[in-house]
Structure 1
């Protein structure tokens, strides 16, 4: 094997294939490159933030459902242990 060949990094290969790793030739190219990278970072951050918020909302709904089910079970268990309460509720 040749010592000149460096290990391949999949992230670097992908970036190079997308044209992200080109050496800037002047200040304008460097500025454009940095702005592009910052825009991509912002988009990824926003996407991750949206995913986190969605998951938190889903978890909140699940907790509400669980709380409702627990309350139902507790009231059923209370009625089953005290048949007189069940008869009073049915007569009302």
Structure 2
């Protein structure tokens, strides 16, 4: 056995607790990173939607909704 192998039940319990705490810390860090990325992605999507709406307004196109999408008549 290696020197780090548990020799008693108490040692084993301590090792398992340490391992579980490390796993929890790693999971929390990863979770925080994912949530941060989702927030950034959401912000980018919001900006993209606004830019598309602005471009449509500049082009004189109304936003289309519903199943029967009919473009606005061009202004003369």
Name the Cα RMSD after superposition. Answer: 1.6
Whole-angstrom CA distance in 1 between matches of 2:18 and 2:31: 20
Give unpaired runs (5+ residues) of structure 2.
62-73
- Bigger fraction of residues in helix: 1
TM superposition score normalised by structure 1: 0.63
Whole-angstrom CA distance in 2 between matches of 1:22 and 1:72: 64
2:19 matched residue in structure 1: 37
Whole-angstrom CA distance in 2 between matches of 1:62 and 1:24: 50
Q: Number of matched residues?
A: 62
Give unpaired runs (5+ residues) of structure 1.
1-20, 85-92
Q: How far apart are residue 57 of structure 1 and its match?
A: 0.2
State the Cα deviation string for residues 43-84 of structure 1 (Å, max 9, x = none).
0000000000000000000000000000000000017x52x5
CA radius of gyration, larger in: 1
TM superposition score normalised by structure 2: 0.76
Structure 1 segments of 4 or more deviating over 3 A? none
1:66 matched residue in structure 2: 48
Q: Which has the bigger relative contact order, CA under 8 A and spacing at least 6?
A: 2
1:51 matched residue in structure 2: 33
